[in-house]
Amino acid sequence: MLSEDDHRAAAEAILKAERERVPSIQLSKMFPGMGIADAYRVQDLWADSRIAAGARLAGHKIGLTSRAMQMASKINEPDYGRILDDAIYNDGAQISAGAFIRPRLEVELAFIMGEDLAGPGCRIHDVMRATEQVVPALEIIDYRTEVPRAIVDTIADNAAFGAIVIGGRTIRPFDVDLRWIGATLSQNGVIEESGVSAAIMGHPAAGIAWLVNKLHDVGTGLKRGQIVLGGSFTRPVDIRKGDVIHADYGPLGAIGVSFV
């Protein structure tokens, strides 16, 4: 376990990279003894600093929901990060590509909580009951450290969260079978990715249940009104200035954004 001084130095490295748009050296190289618990503590301190500066906690994101990504990261479970209110965009937004270091984009579903939800023992049906709405979403992921990255680098870096874009048709969780929501992702008119939400741990609410139980371990849970990104069901697509993105969710509508 690293010292609290090391945790604060690591958090400052992420904050500096975020401010200056220049990636930091990997925290796993700066602090070779860093473990998973250390990485989440660094994320806590990063979030505390951003909130002290005026941001508001709007929800959470879940990453590494696919088995292939877990194996690549040498971890046997997902990870999670925070969604802050200054990183939420709506359908049709023009987003500055220069606001990120190395932006990539993923197709996801966002759960809007209708009531508080806490563990332990949270299951898919608990998530479905506590969810007020489900809405299509895109996650912009970003790296504030150099690559290649160890899992502790990703976790400390707020699980690579950059921003979220929300759009399309809002549905109630039981309106459709959430496992079989499909989407295509087009970049500058070319379909680059497609997928189905069952790829997220078999059910997109499964990751939310996992998150609730993990948050219980640190004495918290999900709150009414929070947004939770359930994980990607496509591979990430690199984003550049000038790109126009269109994600088509079929009956659930579409999301379009451009990067300027």
CATH number at residue 102: 3.90.850.10
Is 13 contained in some domain?
no
Separation between Cα atoms, residue 92 and residue 80, nearest integer Å:
27
Residue 72, pLDDT score: 58
Is 86 contained in some domain?
yes
pTM (two decimals): 0.95
Q: Where are the alpha helices (DSSP H) in the chain?
A: 4-20, 27-30, 36-52, 67-73, 124-130, 151-156, 204-217
Q: What is the pLDDT of residues 144-203, one digit of tens each?
A: 999 999 999 999 999 999 999 999 999 999 999 999 999 999 999 999 999 999 999 999
pLDDT for residue 3 is more than 60: yes
Q: Which domain holds residue 179?
A: 57-259
- 76 confidence band (pLDDT: 50, 70, 90): confident
Which strand (E) or helix (H) includes residue 105?
Answer: strand 104-113
Is 211 contained in some domain?
yes
Is 125 contained in some domain?
yes
Q: Where are the alpha helices (DSSP H) in 53-156?
A: 67-73, 124-130, 151-156
Residue 73, pLDDT score: 59
Residue 65, pLDDT score: 83
Is 33 contained in some domain?
no
Helix axes 36-52, 4-20, angle to 10 degrees: 60
Which strand (E) or helix (H) includes residue 134?
Answer: strand 131-141
Task: Using alpha carbons, select from 25, 24, 16 the residue that is nearest to residue 46.
Answer: 16
Is 148 contained in some domain?
yes
Contact 65, 234 (CB under 8 A): no
Is 186 contained in some domain?
yes
pLDDT for residue 66 is more than 90: no
Q: What is the mean pLDDT of residues 118-138?
A: 98
The pair phi, psi for residue 162, each rounded to 5°, is: -115, -50
The number of domains in the chain is: 1
Q: How does the average pLDDT of the chain come out, rounded? A: 95
- 69 confidence band (pLDDT: 50, 70, 90): low
Is 16 contained in some domain?
no
